[in-house]
């Protein structure tokens, strides 16, 4: 199972109380399930509004269970940003 780094930004970082942390997960869905288990509460609510980058590439509308993670990869958790 690949070890990946999950990086939190803005409201996700505030809700997690940490900037980044490692997880073992094969897919984005597995990584996010582990995040929700480790950080129940506010972060779980924030994740519903987030978009995600995997190694710099946007996930977009792809099903999270179809997004494979690579060893040493990075999952960026991006809440909506204010402004325009």
Give the C-alpha separation, 65 to 81, whole Å: 25
Confidence band for 81, pLDDT divided at 50, 70 and 90: confident
3-state secondary structure of 40: coil
pTM over 0.85, yes/no: yes
> What does DSSP assign to residue 50?
-
Q: Is 90 exceeded by the pLDDT of residue 82?
A: no
pLDDT digits (tens, 9 = 90+) for 7-47: 999 999 999 999 999 999 999 999 999 999 999 999 999 99
Distances (CA, A) of 44 to 16, 40, 54, 60, 80: 9, 6, 19, 19, 15
Using alpha carbons only, what angle is made at residue 13 by residues 59 and 45, rounded to the nearest 5 degrees? 70
For the chain, what is the mean pLDDT? 95
- The DSSP 8-state label assigned to residue 35 in this structure reads H
Contacts of residue 41, defined as CB under 8 A and 6 or more positions apart, other chains included, come to 15
Percent of the chain at pLDDT exceeding 90: 94
Q: Quick check: 53 pLDDT over 60?
A: yes
């Amino acid at each position: 199972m690949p070890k990946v780094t999950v990086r939190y930004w803005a409201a996700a970082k505030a809700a997690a109380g940490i900037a980044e942390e490692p997880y073992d997960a094969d897919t984005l869905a597995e990584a996010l399930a582990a995040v929700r288990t480790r950080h129940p509460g506010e972060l779980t609510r924030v994740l519903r509004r987030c978009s995600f980058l995997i190694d710099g590439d946007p996930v977009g509308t792809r099903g999270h269970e179809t997004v494979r993670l690579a060893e040493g990869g990075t999952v960026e958790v991006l809440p909506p940003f204010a402004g325009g």
